[in-house]
């Protein structure tokens, strides 16, 4: 026995209502996936060519989307550039969140090591970011000034405070804190930016299992005077036997 036509119609409408949220979620996920592909493709193109050299068509082709689909998500190359810069900054800030919760409970030198270790790992996992940051640093626009004032300057001031504290405790090399911070950034990222050259004529292989650990050890040893494994207080110099 079948249900009356009116009941069948009502049941069909109810099923449609139940299916609608699921369809909407699927469309939202597809949209998020597409946007993420565009951002990843843009990060690669901007790293290779900068804002001026990268083209919307090249980004769309790398992302596997049509030009029409691209402009649905981003109305201009400049808007995409800003989205990539914001995404990069947000990801790095997220890496710093956990170590910063320890501020005041561990030595500043140890906190700085944790933050710098996160930066080294982030740069290793996202080598294109080094190139993007290099392009961003050369900008002289209203947007770049906002980025410097709201992202770069606070990060550098935080690092400078920790460097000064580490210097006072004898655990950091002497020198201008901001200068030291820029030296650290260069020491971390240069090998990623010149990977092809480094791997061409040396035995260094960035994909080797132990590379990241060794790179981290070497970089930190350039700046910290004790560099103890797992932190700890600065070591006292041995008494002279002369």
The tokens for 114 are: 């944790």
For residue 10, being part of any structural domain is answered with: no
* Residue bearing the bigger pLDDT, 161 or 89: 161
Q: Residue 238: left (phi > 0), alpha (psi -120 to 50), or beta?
A: beta
For residue 143, being part of any structural domain is answered with: yes
Whether residues 132 and 210 share a domain: the answer is yes
The residue among 36, 56, 75 that closes a domain is: 75
* Number of domains into which the chain is organized: 2
pLDDT of 228 higher than 70: no
Whether residues 54 and 103 share a domain: the answer is no
Q: How many CB atoms lie within 10 A of CB 232?
A: 13
For residue 185, being part of any structural domain is answered with: yes
Whether residues 155 and 199 share a domain: the answer is yes
Instruction: Tell me the average pLDDT across 136-159.
Output: 71
pLDDT of 190 higher than 50: yes
Rounded (5°) CA angle 34-40-43? 140
Q: Residue 4: what pLDDT?
A: 56
The tokens for 45 are: 């193109």
Question: If we measure between CA atoms, which residue out of 124, 96, 123, 121 comes closest to residue 111?
Answer: 96
What's the whole-number average pLDDT of the chain?
81
Whether residues 62 and 46 share a domain: the answer is yes
Q: Give the burial string for 202-214 (b: 16+ CB within 10 Å, else e).
A: eeeeeeeeeebee
Whether residues 30 and 66 share a domain: the answer is yes
3-state secondary structure of 172: strand
For residue 4, being part of any structural domain is answered with: no
With 0-12 / 13-18 / 19 or more C-beta atoms within 10 angstroms meaning exposed / middle / buried, residue 119 is: buried
- pLDDT 10s digits, 29-48: 777 888 889 988 888 888 78
pTM of the model: 0.72
Tell me the CATH number at 44. 1.10.10.60
Give 226's pLDDT tier (boundaries 50, 70, 90).
Answer: confident
Whether residues 56 and 170 share a domain: the answer is no
Whether residues 47 and 126 share a domain: the answer is no
Question: If we measure between CA atoms, which residue out of 36, 162, 151 comes closest to residue 102?
Answer: 162
pLDDT of 154 higher than 60: yes
The tokens for 194 are: 């010149």
Whether residues 163 and 211 share a domain: the answer is yes
For residue 234, being part of any structural domain is answered with: no
For residue 202, being part of any structural domain is answered with: yes
Whether residues 60 and 32 share a domain: the answer is yes
Whether residues 140 and 164 share a domain: the answer is yes
**Location of structure tokens 């990268």:** 54
Tell me the CATH number at 159. 1.10.357.10
Instruction: Tell me the average pLDDT across 173-180.
Output: 97
- pLDDT 10s digits, 92-145: 889 999 999 999 999 999 999 999 999 999 999 988 877 777 776 666 655 666
Q: Which domain holds residue 207?
A: 76-226
Q: How far apart are CA 59 and CA 138, in angstroms?
A: 22
Q: Residue 215: what pLDDT?
A: 97
pLDDT of 241 higher than 70: no
The tokens for 79 are: 């808007």
Whether residues 63 and 81 share a domain: the answer is no
For residue 12, being part of any structural domain is answered with: no
* Residue bearing the bigger pLDDT, 119 or 13: 119
For residue 9, being part of any structural domain is answered with: no
Whether residues 123 and 167 share a domain: the answer is yes
Q: Residue 89: what pLDDT?
A: 80
Q: How far apart are CA 54 and CA 70, in angstroms?
A: 14
């Amino acid at each position: 026995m079948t249900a009356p036509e009116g009941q069948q119609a009502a049941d069909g409408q109810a099923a449609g209502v139940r299916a609608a949220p699921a369809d909407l979620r699927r469309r939202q996920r597809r949209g998020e996936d597409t946007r993420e592909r565009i951002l990843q493709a843009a990060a690669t193109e901007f790293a290779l060519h900068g804002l001026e050299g990268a083209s919307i068509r090249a980004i769309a082709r790398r992302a596997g989307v049509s030009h029409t689909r691209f402009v649905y998500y981003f109305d201009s190359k400049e808007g995409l550039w800003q989205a990539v810069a914001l995404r990069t900054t947000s990801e790095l800030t997220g890496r710093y969140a956990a170590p910063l919760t320890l501020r005041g409970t561990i030595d500043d030198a140890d906190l700085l090591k944790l933050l710098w270790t996160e930066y080294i790992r982030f740069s290793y996992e996202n080598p294109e970011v080094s190139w993007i940051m290099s392009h961003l640093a050369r900008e002289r626009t209203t947007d770049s000034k906002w980025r410097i004032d709201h992202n770069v300057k606070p990060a550098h001031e935080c690092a400078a405070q920790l460097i000064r504290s580490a210097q006072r405790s004898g655990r950091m090399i002497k020198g201008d804190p901001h200068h030291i911070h820029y030296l650290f950034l260069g020491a971390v990222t240069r090998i990623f930016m010149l990977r092809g050259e480094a791997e061409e004529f040396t035995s260094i292989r960035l994909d080797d299992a132990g590379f990241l650990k060794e790179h981290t050890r070497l970089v930190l040893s350039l700046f910290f005077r004790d560099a103890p494994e797992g932190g700890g207080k600065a070591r006292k110099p041995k008494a002279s036997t002369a």
